[in-house]
Amino acid sequence: MPKESRKRSSVHSHSVRPTKRKFAVQENAVESIEVGVSAEASGNDILQSMAEEAAVPQVNLTKKAKQQIKRELFLERLSSGHAPYSKSHARRIKRKGKEQIAGGLDDIKNALSFLDEGIQEVGSQSQGEDESRLESTMTKVKLKPGQIGEGKATPLTEAQRKRALETERLRHPMILANPAFSANPFQTIRTHAENTLIKR
């Protein structure tokens, strides 16, 4: 006995049809016609109206022209009072504006930075003048032996370093034995510095 054929229990449902059909053409290229409007008009009138419509050139917008119009509309929307931000972003901007004291202190910051730059320029100019004067006086003054001035750029050799340490080792007990140093050490050091250091 043959088997009974199985019936499908579920059939695919049909796809949803769009309510309004859209065509991929420009709106100005499509002519909308109302049926029955010119039913009472004569044939000559209809032909004449068609000829008049054909005489008027239809403008087909190019892609570039459409983009230009779209851009102009966007710029117009930007220039209008309403910002293109969301409500929450507008609230954030408003809150930030309230937090700044008196509309912000940016102007004062800019003024202070400008003044700082001016002071630094004047300071560097005066410092350069002072250095040139100092160099001219240093060249005129010849160092006496035992006086302390600006050192040479070259470091001491090992033999020179040993000699300097030896002289300091011999000088140290004499300084401690000096009665002026025992009475007032700071005044003695000050007097020694006045005698040995070059005055500027």
- Using CA atoms, how far residue 64 sits from 25, 51, 53, 61, in Å, is 16, 30, 26, 8
**pLDDT tens profile 98-132:** 776 655 667 677 777 777 777 766 666 656 666 66
Contact 108, 115 (CB under 8 A): no
| The pTM of the whole model exceeds 0.85 | no
- Compute φ and ψ for 197, nearest 5 degrees: -80, 145
Residue ranges of domains in the chain: 66-99, 105-142, 166-200
Question: What are the tens digits of pLDDT across the range 52-68?
Answer: 877 766 677 889 999 99
